[in-house]
């Protein structure tokens, strides 16, 4: 039962990652009393250690014919950008089949169109959100430099840059190591071309960002409790939420933002959502001296280097290995070794390694919308590589749904029952 003396909230948000905390804050702004439940507390999982990018230009889904061409080569290298541990191969097969189906040109176009809308909305939502949460000083506008080792690698990306040009995303292609060094000195000369995206922003530290929003939410009367939700059921007056240890709550609406674990809660309401995790790795280096002027994306190697207030973070990779296997930090070692090769002056000693669970759906789109069983449960999860980028936008969409307003964008492509 809820603790005696504490009023029942209007709304319960399950999960205190960036999606849950942003959504709780946005609902609170609209006058709702909100309780956040997380089994570990704020920023315990993926939202803690990500690369910190607001990657608004990333409108191209991972599921593309180009990815299907690259994947077999990547899979041959056990420490390469993409891996499937053999023990998990059978488990991931149905998701892979859906991913493969999402690579059909008409599906790719649908995903791009949906991402264009969600990205534009998320970009529009970000600055007011930073202002309201008092986190504006954490924003960096350093852009992103995507680098290519060959003309062929660069040319293969051109159709996707054309798609970005059509929706007025600014970028600039540069060729030759001298021109590249104007954006980032010290890169190895193997990189012959690059694309700079100026409106790719970042946050000075993703962990501090979530913790600060959580603090602001609490200071304004919001509650965050450590509790693991095990069951959900519609009731006459909303939704019952049961937790480990017998604690239970009731609220008019429940929002599920439980990251890579969300599908387990959706199953309790009969929604079968093919959520998997793309495990990612990184190392945060304490080095403060290195002159990193922009985030750098090594697309052919599946990792990025970001400058944070806490150091330099080298991370990426996709390991389709499920939620329970221990981390394989040789993956983080492999990314760091490549970073040293590509930026020889980077001091790669003394770093801290981390692994996080990206919550991912096969078509690269999140789920934003109600359960098929009841409109009183709203899902907001599955943002994959883009959860930080799309959190403020998703939070405002969920708030519109809860308040019975017309959502700012068409949410059909994000519905829970699309699979």
Ligand X SMILES: Cc1cc2nc3c(=O)[nH]c(=O)nc-3n(C[C@H](O)[C@H](O)[C@H](O)COP(=O)(O)OP(=O)(O)OC[C@H]3O[C@@H](n4cnc5c(N)ncnc54)[C@H](O)[C@@H]3O)c2cc1C
Site residues (CB under 6 A) for ligand X?
A: 14-20, 37-40, 44-47, 50-53, 55, 228-229, 257-261, 265, 280, 282, 315, 356-359, 381, 383-389
Cβ-Cβ contacts under 8 Å for 352 (sequence gap 6 or more): 283, 284
Name residue, tokens 């892979």. Answer: 96
In the complex, least distance from residue 47 CB atom to ligand X, rounded to whole angstroms:
3
Residue in this structure with the two tokens 């080298």, named with its chain if needed: 314
Q: Which helix (H) or strand (E) holds 71?
A: helix 65-76
CB of 49 to ligand X, least distance (A): 7
94 CB-near residues (< 8 Å, 6+ apart): 274
CB atoms within 10 A of CB 276: 27
> What is the smallest separation between the CB atom of 149 and ligand X, expressed in angstroms?
22
User: Which CB atom, from 238 or from 316, has the smaller least distance to ligand X?
Assistant: 316
* 181 versus 348: smaller Cβ distance to ligand X: 348
Q: How far is the CB of 32 from ligand X (least distance, A)?
A: 19
* 143 versus 359: smaller Cβ distance to ligand X: 359
* Smallest separation, CB 20 to ligand X (Å): 5
Nearest approach, Cβ of residue 155 and ligand X (Å): 26
Phi first, then psi: give them for residue 211, nearest 5 degrees: -65, -35
Instruction: Kindly tell me which of 31 and 270 has the beta carbon lying closer to ligand X.
Output: 270
Cross-strand partners of 314? 283, 305
- Strands 11-14 and 34-38: what pairing? parallel
In angstroms, give the least distance from the CB of 18 to ligand X. 5
* Structure tokens, 338: 């490549």
Rank residues 55 and 339 by Cβ distance to ligand X and give the closer one.
55
Strands 139-140 and 223-226: unpaired
CB 370 within 8 A of CB 380: no
> Are 357 and 119 a contacting pair, CB within 8 Å?
no
Q: Are 108 and 363 in contact (CB under 8 A)?
A: no
CA–CA dist 16, 19 (Å, integer): 7
User: Which lies closer to ligand X via its Cβ, residue 179 or residue 242?
Assistant: 242
């Amino acid at each position: 039962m809820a603790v005696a003396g504490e009023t029942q909230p209007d709304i319960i948000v399950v999960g205190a990652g960036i999606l849950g905390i942003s959504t709780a804050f946005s609902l609170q702004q609209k006058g709702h009393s909100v309780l956040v439940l997380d089994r570990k507390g704020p920023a315990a999982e993926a939202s803690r250690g990500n690369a910190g990018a607001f990657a608004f230009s990333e409108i191209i889904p991972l599921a593309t014919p180009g990815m299907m061409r690259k994947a077999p080569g990547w899979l041959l290298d056990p420490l390469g950008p993409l891996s499937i541990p053999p023990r998990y191969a059978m488990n991931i097969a149905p998701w892979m089949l859906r991913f493969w189906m999402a690579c059909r040109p008409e599906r790719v176009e649908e995903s791009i169109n949906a991402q264009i809308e969600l990205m534009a909305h998320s970009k529009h939502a970000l600055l007011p959100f930073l202002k309201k949460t008092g986190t504006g000083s954490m924003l960096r506008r350093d852009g992103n430099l995507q680098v290519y080792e060959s003309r062929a690698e660069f040319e293969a990306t051109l159709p996707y840059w054309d798609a970005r040009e059509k929706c007025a995303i600014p970028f600039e292609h540069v060729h030759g190591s001298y021109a590249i060094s104007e954006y980032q000195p010290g890169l190895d000369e193997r990189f012959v071309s690059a694309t700079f995206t100026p409106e790719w922003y970042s946050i000075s530290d993703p962990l501090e960002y979530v913790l600060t929003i959580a603090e602001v939410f609490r200071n304004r009367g919001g509650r965050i409790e450590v509790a693991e939700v095990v069951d959900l059921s519609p009731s006459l007056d909303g939704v019952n939420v049961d937790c480990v240890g017998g604690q239970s709550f009731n609220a008019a609406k429940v929002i599920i933002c439980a990251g890579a674990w969300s599908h387990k809660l959706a199953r309790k309401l009969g929604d079968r959502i093919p959520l998997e995790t793309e495990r990612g790795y990184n190392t945060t280096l304490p080095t403060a001296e290195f002159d990193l002027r922009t985030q750098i994306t090594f697309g052919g190697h599946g990792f990025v280097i970001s400058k944070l207030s806490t150091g330099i973070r080298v991370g990426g990779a996709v390991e389709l290995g499920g939620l329970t296997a221990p981390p394989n930090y040789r993956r983080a070692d492999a990314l760091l070794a490549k970073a040293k090769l590509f930026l020889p002056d980077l001091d790669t000693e003394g770093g801290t390694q981390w692994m996080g669970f990206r919550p991912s759906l096969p078509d690269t789109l999140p789920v934003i919308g109600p359960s098929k069983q009841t409109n009183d449960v709203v899902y907001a999860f599955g943002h994959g590589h883009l959860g930080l980028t799309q959190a403020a936008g998703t939070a405002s969409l969920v708030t519109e749904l809860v308040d019975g307003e017309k959502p700012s964008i068409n949410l059909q492509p994000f519905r829970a029952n699309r699979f």
